[in-house]
């Protein structure tokens, strides 16, 4: 798995001050996407153990609220497989911190349903590890810059924990 960028001390992607990881790879190709560079699965850099450790250390200070995973598309099956071991480590090392995740998939249809487009062997555990899921594709005609943590009004903030 590759990642396109990491934002430390981010205040735009979830409650509080966070570290935000933007994974590479997305097949949605939403018109008006703010992060087209992350559509390519080969964009960015490899998500190595050293990168993961740097992220984990960045969320340890008391004043950091947690970790946010965006994209690209974290719920592309190959990204789920790449993220799951890291998310297990995150939960183990930072049990009091929150985990926010974004997806262009629809929670009930694509992630929960047994025949969902994004389901794989990692999906249920990733959803169990996450606190908040922001779901739904970005729809340019529904863009609303007044919304917190979302780009278009069709997207939902779902509290999983």
What pLDDT score was predicted for residue 161?
84
Residue 40: per-residue pLDDT: 96
In this predicted structure, the answer to whether residue 66 has a pLDDT above a threshold of 90 is yes
Under the banding of pLDDT at 50, 70 and 90, the label for residue 98 is very high
Average pLDDT over residues 109-114: 96
User: Are the beta carbons of 17 and 63 closer than 8 angstroms?
Assistant: yes
How many other CB atoms sit within 10 Å of the CB of residue 131?
Answer: 16
Query: Long-range contact list for 104-109, CB < 8 A, 24+ apart?
Result: 104/26, 104/28, 104/30, 104/73, 104/75, 104/135, 104/136, 104/137, 104/138, 105/73, 105/75, 105/135, 106/135, 106/136, 107/133, 107/135, 107/156, 107/158
Q: Using one digit for the tens of pLDDT, what is the confidence trace for 119-143?
A: 999 999 999 999 999 999 999 999 9
Number of compact structural domains in the chain: 1
Q: Give Cβ neighbours of residue 145 (< 8 Å, ≥ 6 apart).
A: none
Rounded to whole angstroms, the Cα distance separating 16 from 121 reads 31
**CA dist., res. 85 & res. 105, Å (int):** 21
Question: In sequence order, what are the residues at sequence separation of 6 or more whose Cβ sits closer than 8 angstroms to the Cβ of residue 12?
Answer: 20
Domain range for residue 130? 2-159
Give 7-56 pLDDT, tens digit per residue.
Answer: 999 999 999 999 999 999 999 999 989 888 899 999 999 999 999 999 99
- Distance CA(140)–CA(75), nearest Å, equals 21
């Amino acid at each position: 798995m590759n990642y396109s960028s990491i934002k430390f001390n981010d205040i735009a992607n979830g409650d509080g001050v966070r570290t935000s990881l933007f994974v590479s790879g997305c097949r949605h190709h939403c018109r008006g996407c703010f992060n087209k560079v992350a559509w390519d699965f080969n964009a960015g850099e490899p998500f190595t153990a050293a990168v993961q450790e740097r992220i984990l250390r960045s969320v340890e200070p008391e004043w950091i609220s947690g970790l946010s995973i965006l994209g690209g598309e974290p719920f592309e099956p190959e990204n789920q497989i790449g993220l799951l071991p890291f998310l297990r480590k995150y939960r183990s090392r930072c049990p009091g911190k929150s985990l926010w995740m974004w997806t262009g998939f629809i929670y009930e249809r694509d992630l929960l349903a047994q025949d969902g487009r994004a389901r794989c062997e990692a999906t249920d555990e990733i959803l169990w590890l996450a606190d908040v899921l922001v779901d739904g594709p970005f729809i340019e005609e529904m863009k609303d810059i007044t919304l917190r943590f979302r780009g278009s009004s069709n997207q939902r903030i779902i509290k999983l924990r």
